[in-house]
Amino acid sequence: MLSAKHQVTVRVPEEIPALHSLIASIRCESETSMPSRHGVVISRKIDAAINELIDLFIENNVTPWYSSRVSDPAPSIEILRSVLWYSIVVINERVTRMDQVRFFTGGVATCLTRHLEHIRVAQAAGEARGERGIFHLVPQLSSPEREINFLRLVAELLVSRCLPPEYSRCTPLRTLLKELLACKVFEPMIDRVCDPDWINQRLVSYLRQQQAAEELHRRTYMYAASYEDFITLIHDSTDIHDLEHLR
């Protein structure tokens, strides 16, 4: 015999509402303030160069690992491209509103002069004592921890000013971007730029490239017996850098 009909009351576990509340608290706004298309930002040539840099950045740093984790990376990559262009537009607008003459002749010149003066005073004090001068760093650089904390503040300021509002209002995303910029972009870049050996290597490499270009320029004129031969060399060349130096 079959048992009588009975009703079963399904209760929602307490964890489910808590999970929905947690998701709602960290959910980023879906509406975007980014335009679908943008016109010429700076100039056609500069915009083309920036677009090429963005393509290289996505191709070398995003696509290799992101494509293996999602089935269709194209929509997300296009969103990333739009966000990068939005940031470029915002930065360009802020730069155009800046008093560049006052910035370079006032702020930059004053900071460089003060920095060089501190170095001169430290060297003079060290020579007076017969030892190497001690340069006192600013508080933000007194320790690696303080330096990275200062870089986090700079990164958070850039995220809040240069990204779309819906991105900067999303606390988890803002925190993630702040850490990525501070620890993976700013700190390695500053360490590299402030390395004297790296600066010397770049200078030596540049001088060697200039010397090689001048030698190629002289050889080209030497091998071209006439104007027609010179034009033939240009047509037969497949290296854009050689053509730029020949120009």
Q: Is residue 69 part of a domain?
A: yes
Q: 117: domain range?
A: 100-134
Whether 27 is in a domain gets the answer: no
Query: Quick check: is 179 in a domain?
Result: yes
Q: Do 79 and 64 meet the contact criterion of CB atoms below 8 Å apart?
A: no
pLDDT computed for residue 100 by the predictor: 83
For the chain, the domain total comes to 4
Same domain, 93 and 112: no
73: in domain: yes
What pTM did the predictor assign?
Answer: 0.63
**Each residue's pLDDT tens digit, 74-104:** 888 888 898 899 989 998 888 888 888 888 8
Quote the CA–CA distance of 218 and 220 in Å, as a whole number. 5
CA angle 79, 84, 89 (to 5 degrees): 120
Domain membership flag for residue 162: yes
The answer to whether position 10 is within a domain reads no
Compute the distance between CA of residue 86 and CA of residue 38 in angstroms, rounded to an integer. 9
Q: How does residue 107 score in pLDDT terms, banded at 50, 70 and 90?
A: confident
Contacts of residue 174, defined as CB under 8 A and 6 or more positions apart, other chains included, come to 156, 159, 160, 167, 168
